[in-house]
Amino acid sequence: MNAAIEAVNVSVAYDTRPVLLGVSLRIQHGEVVGIVGPNGAGKSTLLRTLVGLITPTTGEIRLLGGPVRAHRHRVAYLPQREGIDWTLPLLVEDLVMFGRVPHLGWGRRPGDRDTRVVRQCLEALGIGELRTRHIGELSGGQQQRTLLARALAQEAEILLLDEAFMGVDAATEDVILALLARLRHDGRAVLIVDHDLTRAAKAYDRLLLLNQRPVAFGPPAQVLTREALRVTYAGRLVALEEVGAVGEVRS
């Protein structure tokens, strides 16, 4: 079976400024992989490149065994919450319905199945009762659940999640972790940016430590070493008694 995501020696530059250098990874179906690294490490850029929003300067990306352009509709991308205009006059279910666009095409009205999928996704994220609420009335955790419901509504085989846990409460964190477990069980491939190394050590099958260049890629127990973390965070890592108890890192 083809890998869900395969990147070989991918580099990205903005004008002449390098942002990613020589990133290679291979992610299988049914695998949840975390990306960790300091601010400015290229984590969001990597997701945007994998989904086809940025063209790499070098290297090759294949999704589901084929070129990105052929399979973009099979990839759900969750941007950072700050990238959404929450003042738009949309109801929660309207925003989630955008996840159905790859199935509908532009201009077609949603059918009964689309409505059913949207409501099922809202229920799965524990916000079914919010479907007729204006998106501007949502809390941070509710906003994140809504965006995850939109990604889920696409019924994609690959999910790229940028900072899915950013600014959420404990209840929302538990909901997201349960969702990741279900996606793994369903054979989806998930690549998620996360800052919390304690969570990353427990929740993900493999981790990519990234600081423009890949520092390490593999099972958490193998890559969360003091040396790898020192290189990744360039000495800005909070010192703790043991790597298995690493907490949230910000730079």
Confidence of residue 235 (pLDDT cuts 50, 70, 90): low
Per-residue pLDDT reduced to its tens digit, 113-167 = 999 999 999 999 999 999 999 999 999 999 999 999 999 999 999 999 999 998 8
Instruction: Give me the domain span that covers residue 174.
Output: 5-83+157-245
Is 146 inside a domain boundary? no
Q: How many domains does the chain have?
A: 1
Is 89 inside a domain boundary? no
Is 88 inside a domain boundary? no
Higher pLDDT, 245 or 108: 108
The CATH number covering residue 163 comes to 3.40.50.300
Is 172 inside a domain boundary? yes
Q: What is the full DSSP assignment across 183-247?
A: HHHTT-EEEEE--BHHHHHHH-SEEEEEESEEEEEE-HHHH--HHHHHHHHTT-SPP-S-GGG--
Residue 246 Cα to chain centre, angstroms: 21
Class of residue 28 by CB neighbours under 10 A (exposed 0-12, middle 13-18, buried 19+): middle
Beta bridge partners of 11: 58
Average pLDDT over residues 211-225: 95
Confidence of residue 218 (pLDDT cuts 50, 70, 90): very high
Is 191 inside a domain boundary? yes
Region at 94 (left for phi over 0; alpha for psi -120 to 50; beta for the rest): alpha
Is 124 inside a domain boundary? no
Is 59 inside a domain boundary? yes
pLDDT at 106 exceeding the cut of 80: no
Is 149 inside a domain boundary? no
